[in-house]
Homo-oligomer: A and B are copies of this chain.
């Protein structure tokens, strides 16, 4: 890949001219990221990341931009590549390069080869720390680019999918340095995955289709944190929500939350709109496409675009055309049409802007504080996957509440004693 350079900052981006728009969007997002603002002030003062090179493979959005700027302001030499070919906001990428001097390798709609070449460019940075959203960068480093591991002391991972992969690696003894599963922080997955995915996925689907959800049958595949959020928002917009699951406990939870729960075999015949958020592959596949109603809309908001088996859909189809931006209409050989959104990639980033800044504020505050923690403690940590330390997690929660002007109660001394004891009964 030819690494072009703009104003002496290495990069491979779509168009530096878009920087003006990108800068405004970065600033707009910053207004809702008040916890990160506080951390940034602290980082400017204390320079905790001074001298550390960071290679980040994250969705290149306005929110991520604010994280990168915070790391830079904390003393880090940070570079950024995309964690998904479709999720890059080209204007943001341009502004990061032009206005903030941060190298970026990401172009919206890049092909797979370019995608991986961008990861390679990020690894060329010889990072001390890796940051991942889906574990693609660490996977490349551990397999094809072991040379890049030389300086690495630690890493972070942002998403459920990535954490699952890392745990599998750790189990296989493949992991070469400690990684904090930022995803597993309460202030991350309970919020970002639920309220962020919930709103932004609906946003993505509605932008792509302008489809009325009120009265529609909306099938949510997966009732993890993302699925719970999505189901709740779809119902909030008036849809009749159907949930599919493989885990019996989550399935009953969905039942008791008042949703219809059934197998995908059954749901496939009923749904107007489908969205997968499972972290698994081929959740919608040939056997389901064969049952769907004419005009069904299918989409994915899980990390990878494997949740819908697109090759199988193509095989069933006689032709395909783009009817709206992000809507591909597949004409099946039996005459039915199925509308695939955003090429099966996470629809909230493909056709909308990803999670709103206010919720990414918490996730990225967890990221920033985790990096601070790793720099200080990496030597004592095993080559394994760790949770965000509870005190950091709670600190993010407290800062967020304060930024919202919400006051909560404190334990009285009497209450603290009561909770610590066991002798006081009926």
Q: Which residues of B are found within 8 Å of A255, using beta-carbon distances?
A: 215, 240, 401, 404, 406
A122-148 residues at the B interface, CB under 8 angstroms: 134-136, 139, 143
Q: Which residues of B are found within 8 Å of A239, using beta-carbon distances?
A: 258
Q: How many copies of the polypeptide does the oligomer hold?
A: 4
In the complex, the chain B residue whose C-beta lies closest to that of A280 is B415
Contact-residue bracket for chain A: 35 or more
Contact indicator per residue, chain A 172-201, by CB within 8 Å of chain B (1) or not (0):
101000000000001100110011101100
Partner of A426, one of B62, B112, B263: B112
Q: Which residues of B are found within 8 Å of A401, using beta-carbon distances?
A: 248, 251-252, 255, 261
A390-420 residues at the B interface, CB under 8 angstroms: 393-394, 397-398, 400-401, 404, 406-412, 414-415, 418-420
Q: Which residues of B are found within 8 Å of A257, using beta-carbon distances?
A: 214, 238
In the complex, the chain B residue whose C-beta lies closest to that of A25 is B324
Q: Which residues of B are found within 8 Å of A84, using beta-carbon distances?
A: 426
B236 touches A165 (CB 8 A): no
Chain A interfacial positions (CB closer than 8 Å to B):
24-25, 27-29, 31-32, 62, 83-85, 112, 115, 134-136, 139, 143, 164-166, 168-169, 172, 174, 186-187, 190-191, 194-196, 198-199, 202-203, 206-207, 209-216, 232-233, 235-241, 244-249, 251-253, 255-264, 266, 279-283, 295, 304-306, 322-324, 327, 352-353, 355-359, 362, 393-394, 397-398, 400-401, 404, 406-412, 414-415, 418-426
